[in-house]
Amino acid sequence: MVVVQETSIAQVHDGFKRGTLTAKDLTTAFLRRIAAFDKVGPQINAMMAVSTTAIEEATSLDRYFKETGKFKGKLHGIPIVVKDQADTKGMVTTYGSAAGINNVPDKDAFVIKKLTEAGAIILGKTTTSEWACCWFSANGATGYKFTKNPYNLGHDVGASSSGSAAALAAHFAILAVGEDTGGSIRVPSSFCNLVGIRPTPGLISRAGFCPLIKVQDSPGPMATNVRDCALMLDCMVGFDPEDDFTGVAATAAAMEIPRGASYAAFLDHGPEKIRKAKIGVVRQFFGFNDDPKCRAVNEVINDAIAKLQATGTTFLDVNIDNLKHYMTYTQTYLVRSRTDINSFLANKPHLPSDIADIVPKTPAQPYLDLLSAMAHGPEEPTLEPTYASRLLLRDELQRAIGCLMASLGLDALAFPDVQIPAPRLEDATNGSIETLKFPTNTFLSSQTRMPAISVPAGFTKSGLPVGLELLALEYQEQHLLELARGVEVTLEVRRAPAEDSWLM
């Protein structure tokens, strides 16, 4: 029997070379897990659609390896799942909306092409919150059924890359495609004990992804370990003429980024790098200790900092002036998301042309208040009187963070991804969490357009995962991955969920 739990790219490729494993056997094993645990048994509900051609594709890759003795690419035979925000040829792609339940793209998103060219096998599409605009996992395409957290089935997984995170935590695949506008890779990574990186926007093409805020959107890799995350990033970056933001990727290539031709090239230096690092701790992003949920997260993060500090890492508490105002006023969901989504719908003639005709003005669920407000925002951003001042303040924030890090000689900023652990499923509707005030810290990276990574920091006393976020300057993804590898090796907190609890 093929064991897929906690399997890495390196282990799979070693099995291929030794002849003890085939892509077909591996793919079959993952598909069997999906069939056994996603819609039955514990009902994780991570998958929106499952490929009908994955076995055939895996067989073809096995044939290629047998005939040539070579791998097709860095991800040869690696099963991957994809957030249902990305167009995937021949596979239902809903964008988390009931309006898209019959939407079957005839063209792959650019990222999907790059991954399959690298040898990846797309197993299926994963749940996303409705139009990728909510902190909870349930969406209209599933009849508002929540995706369950494999670490505790009574808890949510975070959004909007909810299914991608749950699928990895439940071992339905080795890698997952996420997308992050305001935290949608990092929040579910934190809640599901994963590594997830939000790259500098434009490093990865968004062509074929339904947008939310074009100037902030960024697809990115999610994995159970830093090395696999880095190898997946290698296969996602690159210039795409269909996305003019990818001038960023062309600039990175011109600067010979990544060093050593791979984001994983110097990960072995990670433990030494984190020991020598100087990290700024943003205490303003820690919740109040008199709140038990916040206290549980603070304990985990402070313990992680103490362990890293004991090995040599320098931590310095830093203060960002006017942070609360920056975090609220620089948001533009209610100003431009309607326009950005409508620009995507314009190329989908079988779908309504205006998101306002799809999403009701009165939220269909309590946790969809942001979505409804966004969908019925101005038809053009420039019609909103505050738009220009929001952009000016956003750029001011970016400069302030850059100057702060440079003046103090910081390698990164650090803070918890979210001030609370994964909420209970009922928290979405019982009023205990205001969705418009969801206590995430991920907006700092999103609104400065600086890269950030979430790496496992440990578990609360009740057994829920907590992620540590590291933020760096633009184009420093490789630097972040190396720091994260140092954190990973030093803390050694990664563990799989207890599957026995799924069937109790």
List the catalytic residues. Answer: 83, 160, 184
Structure tokens at 8: 């890495």
Pair 263, 477: CB distance under 8 Å: yes
How does strand 465-471 pair with strand 412-416?
antiparallel
Preceding omega of 160 cis (within 30 degrees of 0): yes
* CA-wise closest residue to 224 among 79, 124, 36, 439: 79
Cα 397 from Cα 391, distance rounded (Å): 10
Structure tokens at 114: 């790059």
The residue behind tokens 């006017």 is 322
Structure tokens at 124: 């299926």
Pair 372, 133: CB distance under 8 Å: no
Rounded CA Rg of the chain: 21
The residue behind tokens 């097709």 is 72
Preceding omega of 389 cis (within 30 degrees of 0): no
Structure tokens at 16: 């291929």
Length of the chain: 504
Reported as half-sphere exposure (CB side, CA atoms, 13 A), residue 332 has a value of 30
The amino acid sitting at 128 is T
Pair 127, 45: CB distance under 8 Å: yes
* CA-wise closest residue to 60 among 74, 76, 80, 82: 76
